[in-house]
Amino acid sequence: MSEALIRLRGVTKKYGTGQAELMALKGIDLDVAAGEFVAIMGPSGSGKSTAMNILGCLDTPTAGQYLFHGAHVEALSRDQRARLRRRYLGFVFQGFNLLARTSAQENVELPLLYRGESATVRHAAASRALQSVGLGGWEHHTPGELSGGQQQRVAIARAIVTEPAVVLADEPTGNLDTQRSEEIMELLRALNVDHGITVLMVTHEHDMAAYARRVVHFVDGRIESDVPNPHPAAPRAPAVPAQVQAP
Amino acid sequence: MLLSTLFLALRSIRRNLLRSFLTILGIVIGVSAVITMVTLGNGATLAVQMQISSLGTNLLMVRPGQRQGPGGPGGGAPSFKEADADAILSQIGGVAAVAPEARAGATVIGNGRNWSTSVTGSNDTWFVTGNWKLASGREFTDEETQSGAAVCIVGETVRREIYGGTRGLGEQLRIKQFSCEVIGVLASKGQGAMGNDQDDTVLVPLRTLQRRVTGNLRVNSLLVSMQDGSDSTRLKAALRDLLRERRKLAAGDDDNFNILDTQQLADTLSGTTKVMTTLLGAVAAVSLLVGGIGIMNIMLVSVTERTREIGLRLAIGALEREVLMQFLIEAVTLAALGGLIGIGIATVASFALAKVMGVPYLFDPTINMLSFVFSACIGVVFGYFPARRAARMDPIEALRHE
């Protein structure tokens, strides 16, 4: 592996002190190259969410190094990490986290707002992103008027509207039924394959992990296995089902 | 960025219209109370000044006795004579006119009705010093003044009570034992500064009053009208010296008369209403402060309620200061909006109340501007704490918040 986009070295994370002390991560080494699709699996309490927070620059390790694009994230201030997030990262959450009573268009424009883009640029980019997740024509619907699967698509559009290097997805299909889950996974796979975006995804469903090209297993704060998936799940349905393509 | 943050704030206010309205209610009430109080207070001050100036501008009222202020003449002190008035006019520079005035209470009868009023004896200069105009008829002739003719000029209240709908000119009016002819009607002046009815009087020549009503030569007061631009302090001093001399007071004696300057009276009374205005305004300002606390309360609730939203904004790369600005601008926008609505309500309320209270409506740009700026400042002060709380949130915790 040449120059890794993400490099964790001896990363530990400790919560609490004294009797209540909890080692969530007990020395993690992980390299992720640009363009990978990594699924992170493991039982609850295994440290996968903690690792995801650190990878997403939302949290800093207690000890160890985290190099992102060659920058030492563990040494960055809160605002510096925020700048790094807005520049390189996109987030997809289990609970969608869309702004209520706010149109899909405005939700997707949000990250661009913090980048200081002009209204015209924001508008065009958001429309493009919504188009690419198959929600062209749904721009003016609010989350309340969209199904769960559609809401997660809006969230994905919001994650990719800034053209990030990495998309971090934390159980993106956790709140969706099987069919919607597969559609979302198709979208993530397409992002990875067609746009070369590195995807890091936490999941506890093997069916979903099967879409990734590499699966990392966490157990008890350590990486138990890290295996490539030579045969990722093939598209079983078109990435964008016909019934959601237009309102 | 600032503009788009403002836009964001407006959008968030619109999204929670009812709550936004309740949040700013305190500010709305506070601002409208302050502005209404001050506007009405200013109107009342102006009303007082107008009433005083209806007594006559540049007027000095000289009365026997030492008592200061607008009370009646002091007992015991000798009254003036008609000659005093002539002496003042001829010997003191800067005097425009002097009217000797004598008054007596009397019941007047005419047209089959009677009315208890005050009969004033003076001459034509009384019109100048008292700023009186005639609604109809004519003033006294010199001959009538000299001879003490049986003629009278009635005030509007007396005319209404005795003659009702008719003008009353040429009618006979009986004052005590004598009858006089009504030759004029005074133009109405309305309520005086002390709440008295200035129109409730009958004017007769001074000699007529002295001979036929009071039976003596006393003059109760001297009304001295100063020329425009004359130095009232020097004129008062000269007047005092002259009167002391004419009343034969020794060097050590106290004055047995007093000089009331209507300008001073106006200043004193309008000073009182100004103090009242300031006090009421200050009380209303406290409600503005309470309104600010209301904003802080709701903003804190709003920050807690929007924890996930804040978490998301932080996660996708909002800087601490951007989140701070967002909530701060939201608070300031709310407060300023409240200020604007308050100004609107205050304008309507003070206009209507001024009508009801019978004081003039005066739009005061300063207090409107000041209230608006102050309410925006309240937004900053009380919005800062909730905004800082939002900005300092841990994005992970915030995103997990249910």
In contact, A232 and A212? CB cutoff 8 Å: yes
Distance in Å, alpha carbon of A169 to nearest chain B alpha carbon:
13
The reply to whether A13 touches chain B by the CB within 8 Å rule is: no
Contacts of B312 in chain A (CB under 8 A): 93, 97, 99, 110
pLDDT of residue B295: 86
Residue B61 in this model has a pLDDT that exceeds 80: yes
Residue whose pair of structure tokens reads 């701060």 in the numeric block:
B328
Q: How far apart are CA B15 and CA A244, in angstroms?
A: 28
- Exposure string (b/e) for A41-75, b if CB count within 10 Å is 16 or more? bbeeebbbbbbbbbbbbbbbbeebebbbbeeebbe
CA of B335 vs chain A CAs: smallest distance (Å): 23
CA dist B63 and B75 (Å) reads 11
Residue A63 sits at the chain B interface (C-beta within 8 Å): no
Of A58, A111, A119, the CB nearest to B395: A58
Q: For position B67, what pLDDT does the model report? A: 57
The reply to whether A231 touches chain B by the CB within 8 Å rule is no
**Does position B35 have pLDDT exceeding 70, yes or no?**
yes
Asked if A85 and B320 come within 8 Å (Cβ–Cβ), the reply is: no
Binary contact (A114, B8; C-beta < 8 A) = no
- The answer to whether residues A153 and A182 touch, using CB atoms and an 8 Å cutoff, is no
Structure confidence at residue A124 (pLDDT): 95
Residues of B whose CB is below 8 A from A168: none
Q: Which amino acid is at B56?
A: G
Mutation target among B4, B13, B312, B393 for the A interface, most CBs of A within 10 A: B312
Hey, are the CB atoms on A79 and B316 less than 8 Å from each other? no
Q: Between B51 and B214, whose confidence is greater?
A: B214
User: Can you tell me the distance from the alpha carbon of A143 to that of A129, in angstroms, rounded to the nearest whole number?
Assistant: 16
Q: What 3-state DSSP class applies to B392?
A: coil
Q: Given A79, A90, A158, which is nearest B319 (Cβ)? A: A79
Say what the ipTM of the complex is: 0.90
Judged by CB atoms closer than 8 Å, whether chains meet at B319 and A101 is answered as: no
**Nearest chain A CA: its distance from B309 CA (Å):** 6
- Asked if the Cβ–Cβ distance from A58 to B315 is below 8 Å, we say yes
pLDDT, tens digit (0-9, with 9 covering 90-100), for B163-204: 887 777 888 899 888 889 999 999 888 776 666 788 899 999
B221-226 vs B172-175, strand pairing mode: unpaired
Rounded to the nearest angstrom, the minimum Cα separation between A100 and chain B is 9
User: Quick one: DSSP state of residue B74?
Assistant: P
Other Cβ atoms within 10 Å of A129 Cβ, number: 26
Q: Give the pLDDT confidence score for residue B76 in this predicted structure.
A: 67
Question: Smallest Cβ distance to B399: which of A93, A106, A110?
Answer: A93
Residue B242 has what DSSP assignment?
A: H
B334 near B291, Cβ under 8 Å?
Answer: no
Give the integer Cα–Cα distance in Å for A80 and A99: 25
pLDDT for the residue A242:
44
Share of chain B above pLDDT 90, in %: 25
Q: CB-based contact (8 Å) between A59 and chain B?
A: yes
A116:B1 CB<8 A = yes
Q: Which residue of B has its CA nearest to A91?
A: B316
pLDDT at res. B190: 77
According to CATH, the topology of domain A6-244 is Rossmann fold (3.40.50)
pLDDT score, position B1? 62
pLDDT for the residue A28: 93
Cβ contact, residue pair B317, A114, below 8 Å: yes
**A85 and B CB contact within 8 Å:** yes
Task: Tell me, letter by letter, the H, E, C secondary structure of chain A.
Answer: CCCCCEEEEEEEEEECCHHHCEEEEEEEEEEECCCCEEEEECCCCCCHHHHHHHHCCCCCCCEEEEEECCEEHHHCCHHHHHHHHHHHEEEECCCCCCCCCCCHHHHHHHHHHHHCCCHHHHHHHHHHHHHHCCCCCCCCCCHHHCCHHHHHHHHHHHHHCCCCCEEEEECCCCCCCHHHHHHHHHHHHHHHHHHCCEEEEECCCHHHHCCCCEEEEEECCEEEEEEECCCCCCCCCCCCCHHHCCC
Nearest partner of B179 among B220, B157, B199, B149, judged by Cα = B149
Tell me which residue in B309, B313, B396 faces A59 most closely, judged by beta carbons: B396
Cβ of B315 and A79 within 8 Å? Answer: no
Kindly give the confidence (pLDDT) of every residue in chain A, 247 residues in length, as a single tens digit, with 9 standing for 90 and above: 446 899 999 999 999 888 888 899 999 999 999 999 999 999 988 999 999 999 999 999 999 999 999 899 999 999 999 999 999 999 999 989 998 888 999 999 999 988 888 889 999 999 999 999 999 999 999 999 999 999 999 999 999 999 999 999 999 998 899 999 999 999 999 999 999 999 999 998 999 999 999 999 999 999 999 999 888 886 655 545 444 444 3
Tell me the C-alpha distance between B383 and B331, whole Å. 5
Residue B11 Cα, gap to closest chain A Cα (Å): 9
Distance CA B34, CA B369 (A): 12
Query: When comparing pLDDT for A241 and B65, which is higher?
Result: B65
When the pLDDT of each residue in chain B is averaged and rounded to a whole number, the result is 86
Give me the residue from B309, B322, B396 closest to A114, CB to CB. B322
CB contact under 8 A, B399 and A116: no
In angstroms, the CA A119 to CA B231 distance is 69
CA B400/CA A50 separation, integer angstroms: 13
* Nearest-by-CA chain B residue for A56: B315
Q: What is the pLDDT of residues B87-124, one digit of tens each?
A: 888 888 888 889 999 988 888 998 888 899 999 999 88
Q: How far apart are CA B108 and CA B178, in angstroms?
A: 10
Any idea what DSSP says for residue B188?
Answer: P
Element housing B292 (H / E): helix B262-305
Interface of B with A (CB under 8 A): 1, 4, 8, 11, 15, 308-309, 311-322, 395-396, 399
Whether A229 and A216 have beta carbons less than 8 Å apart is answered as no
Q: What is the mean pLDDT of residues B227-241?
A: 84
Predicted local distance difference test score (pLDDT) of residue B349: 94
Is the CB of residue A111 less than 8 Å away from at least one CB of chain B? Answer: yes
Q: Report the pLDDT value the prediction gives residue B193, as an integer from 0 to 100.
A: 60
CB within 8 Å: A91 and B316: yes
Tokens in use for A141?
A: 């619907």
What is the percentage of chain B residues whose pLDDT exceeds 70? Answer: 96
Q: Give the tens place of pLDDT for each residue, B318-343.
A: 999 989 988 899 889 889 999 999 99
pLDDT of residue B28: 92
State the pLDDT at residue B194: 65
